[in-house]
Amino acid sequence: MTSGIGTLTETMTPVANDDTSIAATAVAARPIRVTHVIHCLEGGGMELILAAMVRGFRHSAVKTTIITLDGRVGSVGAELRGDVEEIVAHRSSRGWSMLLPLALAVEIRRTRPDVVHLYSGAWYKGALAARLAGVRRVVYTEHGLQQDDHRVAPLLFRLAARLTSEVTAVSELLRQHLIRTAGIPPARVRTIENGVDVDTYTPGEPPPGLRERLEIPREAVVVGSVGRLEVVKAYDVLIRAVASLDDTGARPVYLVLCGAGSQGDALASLARELGVADRVRFAGWTDRPLDFYRLFDVFVLSSRSEGAPMSLMEAMATGTAPVVANVGAIAEILGPALRGQLVPSGDVEALANALARTIESPVSCRRIGEAARERIVERHSFRRMIREYEALYRA
């Protein structure tokens, strides 16, 4: 799970001491039309990043149209109607349309783009359609490791790369994955890391009454996570780790899980089985994750698989100490100074030990949180991400 789209945007004013050297920010703001092609707009991390970009460009010279391939506007798209020129719900047919996507090419041409920006799951078909539509500049961004093991996938990646002007990835791990899988020369693949609004996601107090509403004692340590209650998030591992911690001290440990999903009942049953149901809170879906990040003493991602999770960056920006599984691009996000907060995925004992070490001293926990915020401000500013994409469009 990631945050609501409205809280991810920042102003486009220049930042002092921003070491991102981008020539495009100095040129006159010539209007440029960008058509984004994405599979759906139903609320995943990739979709919310796109939504944040749209809102970040709202008062700029970048004019935006979005085409979805699942035939729906989606919940995220519905919130963006006032921020884009148009959202086209294109029903992408199967079979021959993959080889000759003429209907999609017609839709793209009708939006009159200077640039077509494609996302994971829409690369080959979108790139071919854009070329058929006569678009000269085609950009692709990889947001997550491909799960498709079909033999034809590497071939499609290689063909798509030939049809693409600029290939980007949201982490160095994904960049290397593209180089291997699509056979793209390293010089042709750049990394543009995801960013969060560090002016919104700041340290602070949780809203009055939140702790009381969750029935968490004032003296308790709060460990929490924000994400879908699905197998991939491995919350069963997190519950087992919390259950193994000593709860007899002056600062009992409470776990708060924000999210909804198919594993909700199974996780609640596991908490009862382990005798920690009285210290585990299922808070449900929230469109205000910032409130919970500020409640947590420690933010945990116990996932079996991740890309470059926005929830981790948001939590770190609020100054919450992270303890996270070493999967995907998480080590890149933490950086060298916080490598001690990484644990092997699926290792209950290692996760429990890292939690115990982090919460042992309130001062130490606070310092880890401060280092986490410094890392996000330095490396994962939303403003920097927006400026890099605009430079890419105008190159």
Q: What is the pLDDT of residues 93-141, one digit of tens each?
A: 766 666 789 999 999 999 999 999 999 989 999 999 999 999 999 999 9
Note whether 5-195+380-394 and 210-379 share their fold. yes
Crossing angle for the helix pair 310-317 and 362-379, nearest 10 degrees? 120
Buried b (16+ CB within 10 A) or exposed e, 69-101: bbebbbebbebbeebbeebbbbebeeeeeeeeb
Write the single-letter amino acid at 300. Answer: V
Give every CB contact of residue 273 below 8 A, 6+ residues apart in sequence: none
CA-based nearest residue to 355, from 270, 244, 273: 244
**Residue 91 identity (one-letter amino acid):** R
- The full set of domain ranges for the chain reads 5-195+380-394, 210-379
Q: Report helix, strand and coil shares of the chain as percent, to nearest 5.
A: 45, 15, 40
pLDDT digits (tens, 9 = 90+) for 128-169: 999 999 999 999 999 876 444 455 577 888 999 999 999 999
pLDDT at 347: 98
Question: What is the predicted pLDDT for the residue at 96?
Answer: 62
pLDDT value at residue 365? 96
Rounded-to-integer distance, Cα 82 and Cα 149, Å: 39
Residues of the chain with pLDDT under 50: 1-28, 146-149
pLDDT recorded at residue 99: 74
Domain 5-195+380-394 part of CATH 3.40.50.150: no
Rounded to two decimals, what is the model's pTM? Answer: 0.78
Domain 210-379 has CATH 3.40.50.2000: yes
